[in-house]
Structure 1
Amino acid sequence: MTKQRNRRYWMVIPVVTIIILLGLIFHRTWQNEQRVHKTNTAEKIRIVTSLAVYGEMAQAVVGDQGQVQSIINKASVDPHEYEPSVQTAKAYAQAQLIIANGAGYDAWSTKFAQANTQAQKLNVGTIVGYHEGDNEHFWYQPTVTKAMMDPLVDKLSALKPASRSYFQTNAQRYIKTIQPLAEKRAELTKQLKGKSVLVTEPVYDNALAGLGVHDLNPNFAHAIEAGNDPNPTDVLAWNDAITQGQVAFVINNPQTENAVTRRAVKKAQQFQVPIISVTETKPDGKNYLEWQLGILEQIEEALKK
């Protein structure tokens, strides 16, 4: 009996040991799963945008749930001449959400986006309904910020479904912050009724269309944009419009100045025609509201002269 009892005792020990070991294994597994879950929950969404203006919109909506890298983030960088680096390619490959302007403006960005098959993607041209021949400077469209909000919320929510209401709240808050733009545009649209302007380069055309302004000589601007000199007829038409007092103001992009545009601007200045400076990229140190409002305030001052 004693031997049997001892044998049973020694048989129980391995069973107890196994149960304890299994308990430790399951507990450790549970701890690891909890750690992974917390890491995934806390992990910030990686967002890459070609232009800083869209980076600002994305950061406003994602809030503390993501981090944004804007590739062209300095006013000194010409988007038309930008050459992506190895670091840029790596950033796109690791991104979870990619935002490109589209319409051929940032072809390198759309190509990188296509290569990352796992990422969520937004193409601003698609969002605003771009058609061949339309102006591709979408950030100057009056409704672009509002148009971007729902797609941003949807794409971010696909990556973090539990945060949808947070993203929606952030989007609504951002729209409210830029409300002064809509108010200023409404004021200026009334003042600009029947006014005509001249443009050295069509970067601001989408905004002018929203203000109901007529460009007297679009061929001049399109030639400059294409890197060509305007033909003599267009140059003569420019000068005639200035001398005959038909122009409320001139829109000039100093980032694309050349000898022809400098002469055109000088001609306008000789006849006291106000010059409105606009840029293709967001000025360093300014947010979207400050940038856009600053241009509208230039126009407002020009109309007082």
Structure 2
Amino acid sequence: MNFHIKKSWSLAIILLLAGVMVLSGCSKKSGGEIVAGKVNVVTSFYPIYEFAKEIGGENANVINLLPTGVEPHDWTPRSQDILNTSKAQLFLYNGAGLEGWVPNFLKGLGSESKIKTVEVSQGISLIEAEDDDGHGHGAEAENGEETPNHHVDPHTWVSPKSAMIIAENIKNSYIEVDPAHKADYETRYKTLSGKLQALDAKFTEKLSAAPNKEIVVSHQAFGYLCRDYGLTQHPIMGLSPDAEPRAQDLVNLSKLVKDEGIQYIFFEELVSDKLAKTLASEAGVKTLVLNPVEGLTKEQEQGRDNYFTLMEKNLQNLILALQ
């Protein structure tokens, strides 16, 4: 009897500790408070935050909703995030189905909020992905049911070409809410745009010279990168990083890796690398990081990594894998 009591006590303590850990995990702060006298901008996740900070400079106070080390596909906002955002002047989000929480979030802002909402992927030619990502991204039919195998790929920013359009949309939205500082926004945007053009030129030059063009990736996040630089991606999982692959998919991928002589399988830091490592050992190849730049890890943040340093590392790893 005592044994059972002891056992249930230890179980209760484990559950209690798990609850505490979950709660402390949930209360990770997203950065920032509203600042008077500046354009307050709320961004939905990391790349938009970085570009908004660069273009906004000292005229803007940019708050990123997504905490460091969190994968944007799985995140939902808290009431404090809604409250903060309702007092801001600009809300910038990717759109194209990435942030499924946005419609309810915007309803929660209330009618008295003066915020301007901008979908920064506007103007990018979106890719229809042949995939059911099991995550409610993408198209819904008229009757509210999801249409199978018909999803928009939301990972626009992973290509420098698309990132240029995103940066221009951010600049234009600043000028709309704060026309007095138009010249400042234009100047800082030109600097950012110049860096993106240089990155684009480098990707174009190096990847067009690569002898191979096929990459195996952990999740289907590289459609725009592949389209713009002449590569083909073979994802282990779908558009969402936690969509489960079927056993048959893994068998087919393993065969493809062997047939095509692929030397590396790519994984990413914010998502478990278990499947990529399993497939790599099954196919007798190595793994490398290909970062969809959805957010920074704690280490990357401390190491002053940013969109450009991560994309440079991506390019180096692509060159290595495509030999």
Report the RMSD for the aligned CA atoms in angstroms: 2.6
| 1:42-57 matched pairs, under 5 angstroms | 43-57=37-51
Deviation at residue 224 of structure 1 after TM alignment: 7.3
- Count, aligned residues: 257
Among 258, 267, 280, the alignment partner of 1:243 is: 258
Specify which of 61, 64, 68 is matched with residue 67 of structure 1: 61
Contact map agreement 1:229 1:260 (CA 8 A) in 2: no
The secondary structure found in structure 1 opposite 2:81 is helix
1:93, 1:112 within 8 Å by CA — same for their partners in 2? no
Larger Rg: 1
Cα distance in 2 between the residues matched to 1:113 and 1:224: 23
Match of 1:227 among 240, 243, 247: 243
Aligned to 1:94: 87
**Residue type of the alignment partner of 2:313:** G
Residue in structure 2 matched with residue 9 of structure 1 by the alignment: none
Asked if the contact 2:221–2:239 (Cα under 8 Å) also holds between the matched residues in 1, the reply is no
Change in 2 beyond 3 A, CA 1:288/1:160: same
Which position in structure 1 is the counterpart of 2:21? Answer: none
Q: Alignment partner of 1:250: what SS?
A: strand
Structure with higher helix content = 1
Contact kept? 1:53, 1:288, Cα under 8 Å: yes
- Return the alpha-carbon distance in structure 2 between the equivalents of residues 279 and 61 of structure 1: 22
Further displaced range: 204-213 or 250-259? 250-259
CA distance in 2, matches of 1:147, 1:286: 22
Does structure 2 conserve the Cα–Cα contact (< 8 Å) formed by 1:98 and 1:113?
Answer: no
Which residue number corresponds to residue 222 of structure 2? 204
Deviation, 1:54, is 0.4
1:134 maps to 2:152: yes
What is the distance in 2 between the residues matched to 1:223 and 1:54?
A: 19
Determine the structure 1 residue equivalent to 2:291. Answer: 278
Distance 1:110 1:128, change over 3 A: farther
Structure 2: which 5+ residue stretches go unaligned?
1-35, 129-138, 140-150
Equivalent residue, structure 1, for 2:270? 255
Displacement after TM superposition at 1:239 (Å): 1.6
Report the counterpart of residue 29 of structure 1 in structure 2: none
1:81 partnered with 2:99? no
1:166 to 2:187 alignment: no
1:61–1:170 CA contact under 8 A, matched in 2: yes
Equivalence for 1:22: none
Q: CA deviation at 1:201?
A: 1.2
Contact 2:265 2:276 in 1 (8 A): no
Superposition map of 1:174-213 within 5 A: 174-192=192-210, 195-213=213-231
CA deviation digits over 1:56-76, x for unaligned, max 9? 1111112111110011141x2
Q: Distance in 1 between matches of 2:321 and 2:224?
A: 19
Q: Secondary structure at the match of 1:202?
A: coil
Contact 1:199 1:250 in 2 (8 A): yes
Contact 1:92 1:112 in 2 (8 A): no
**Per the alignment, do residues 182 and 259 of structure 1 end up closer, same or farther by CA in structure 2, a change over 3 Å counting?**
closer
- Identical positions, percent: 18
Greater mean alpha carbon deviation, residues 242-251 or residues 80-89 = 242-251
- Matched residues in 1 for 2:288 and 2:217: separation? 10
Q: Secondary structure at the match of 1:134?
A: strand
Match of 2:31 in 1: none
Output the CA distance in 1 between the equivalents of 2:274 and 2:313: 26
> Is the CA contact (8 Å cut-off) linking 1:47 and 1:95 kept in structure 2?
yes
For 2:76 and 2:239, locate their aligned partners in 1 and report how far apart those are by CA, in whole Å.
24
One-letter amino acid matched to 1:48: V
Task: Quote the Cα distance in structure 1 between the aligned partners of 2:292 and 2:159.
Answer: 14
Give CA-to-partner distance per residue, 1:212-268, whole Å, 9 cap, x none. Answer: 1123x45x4328746223242x22221212223432542223433365433112234
Provide Cα deviations, 1:46-96, integer angstroms capped at 9, x if missing partner. Answer: 00001121011111112111110011141x212222231222111211110
**Structure 2 CA distance, aligned partners of 1:87 and 1:119?**
16
The letter of the residue matching 1:160 is: D
Runs of 5+ consecutive residues of structure 1 not aligned to the other structure: 1-41
